[in-house]
């Protein structure tokens, strides 16, 4: 990520840095961590993007590491599973190098208060609510970035699960049904208000399940522009795909639906933050062009794509609602979360409009 993506650690999100540094130095030989210069004390910063898992940069002189841990406070069952994400990255990195290499997993919560893992640091550009100078006002570059994003997704879905030795990571049969049921249950557990559009969409999804895909693939689960690192010298080259917490084996159209859902605004016009979008500017592919490019690269039949677009909007709304639930119930006082209830309603109405 680029240097502007690093910030001082947010108040209330500090960790026990002394214990963390001691753990890293103690586990370096067995975990194959890079050399940590004994003459250099650990320097800490935070990646401010994202609304859930916490990601920090650790620097020991010229050596940089990244650690990820769940958010503070209670979390939904099966969510924010750092051990699972670590296992996925360990398996996927050798066959999909855009997935960062991981070094170590700590399942002892006494170190920093939760399970966490350590991974390599990748440098480049991340596009959030503003374009970096290498892209800004350059329609040809915007188009090149768009193509790289779609092609990267198609390349991920082209991995032969069996040949790559990934079949042990999940059970693709029934994946979409489990997803719909699981996200509906999460909605029911985290509701803070009655949103009839969410109920309508949940019913439609349960009644409209697509057939099992002929060729299940690796599914990233949250494939969107701000989960990608672009080349600093040439943004039309992908450097990394981040945030593998929701990875699974299943229907690849789940990922295409997520990409399309985030390509448009996921927040009301009066809200702008890391979930805002720049992709309506000239040069960025339109949603229709994304679908055409993916179809050409993957060779897949996309006639059932409407289901996955609706599911993506429903899922994003539930993710946002879970964060808002934590704010409403005093599990976090992060001011960024105060208006997320309006975002849930916005997403629900957008999804219902497609029924």
- Tell me whether residue 132 is in a domain: no
**pLDDT in the model for residue 165:** 95
**pLDDT in the model for residue 29:** 74
Q: ∠ at Cα 305 (244, 267), nearest 5°?
A: 60
For helices 253-263 and 305-328, the axis angle rounded to 10 degrees is: 60
Residues 298 and 161 in one domain: yes
Residues 242 and 298 in one domain: yes
Residues 111 and 168 in one domain: no
Residues 345 and 303 in one domain: yes
Name residues of the chain where pLDDT drops below 50. Answer: 1-3
Parent domain of 85: 3-120
Query: Could you tell me the CA-to-CA distances from 337 to 246, 263, 308, 311 in Å, in that order?
Result: 22, 21, 27, 23
Element (H, E) at 30: helix 17-31
Residues 7 and 65 in one domain: yes
**pLDDT in the model for residue 335:** 79
- Tell me whether residue 166 is in a domain: yes
* Total domains in the fold of the chain: 2
| CATH code of the domain covering residue 322 | 3.90.1200.10
**pLDDT in the model for residue 2:** 44
Give tens-digit pLDDT for 265-296.
Answer: 887 777 765 556 799 999 999 999 999 999 99
**pLDDT in the model for residue 1:** 45
Residues 271 and 203 in one domain: yes
**pLDDT in the model for residue 3:** 43
Residues 245 and 288 in one domain: yes
**pLDDT in the model for residue 273:** 59
**pLDDT in the model for residue 203:** 97
Name the DSSP letter for residue 237: S
| CATH code of the domain covering residue 84 | 3.30.200.20
Claim: this prediction has a pTM higher than 0.85? yes
Residues in the chain: 355
């Amino acid at each position: 990520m680029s240097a502007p993506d690093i910030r001082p650690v947010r108040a209330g999100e500090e960790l026990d840095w002394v214990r963390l540094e001691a753990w890293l130095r103690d586990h370096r030989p067995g975990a194959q961590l890079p050399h940590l210069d004994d003459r250099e004390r650990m320097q800490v910063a935070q990646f401010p993007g994202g609304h859930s898992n916490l990601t920090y940069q650790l620097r020991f002189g010229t050596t940089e590491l990244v650690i990820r841990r769940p958010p503070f406070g209670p979390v939904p069952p099966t969510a924010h599973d750092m051990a699972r994400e670590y296992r996925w990255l360990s398996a996927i990195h050798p066959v999909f190098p855009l997935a960062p290499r991981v070094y170590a997993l700590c399942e002892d919560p006494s170190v920093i208060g939760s399970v966490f893992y350590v991974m390599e640091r990748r440098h480049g550009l991340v596009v959030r609510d503003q374009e970096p100078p290498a892209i800004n006002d350059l329609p040809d570059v915007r188009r090149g970035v768009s193509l790289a994003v779609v092609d990267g997704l198609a390349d991920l879905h082209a991995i032969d699960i069996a040949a790559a030795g990934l079949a042990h990571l999940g059970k693709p049969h029934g994946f979409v049904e489990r997803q719909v049921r699981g996200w509906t249950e999460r909605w029911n557990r985290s509701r803070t208000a009655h949103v009839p559009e969410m109920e309508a969409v949940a019913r439609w999804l349960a009644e409209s399940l697509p057939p099992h895909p002929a060729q299940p693939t690796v599914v990233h689960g949250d494939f969107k522009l701000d989960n990608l690192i672009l080349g600093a010298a040439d943004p039309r080259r992908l450097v990394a795909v981040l945030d593998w917490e929701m990875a699974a084996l299943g229907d690849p159209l789940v990922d295409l639906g997520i990409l399309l859902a985030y390509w448009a605004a996921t927040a009301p016009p009066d809200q702008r933050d890391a979930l805002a979008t720049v992709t309506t500017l000239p040069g960025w592919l339109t949603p229709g062009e994304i679908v055409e490019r993916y179809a050409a690269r993957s060779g897949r039949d996309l006639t059932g794509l409407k289901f996955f677009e609706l599911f993506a909007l429903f899922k994003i709304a539930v993710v946002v609602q879970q964060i808002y639930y934590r704010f409403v119930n005093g599990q976090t006082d992060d001011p960024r979360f105060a208006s997320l209830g309006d975002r849930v309603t916005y997403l629900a109405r957008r999804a219902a409009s497609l029924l």
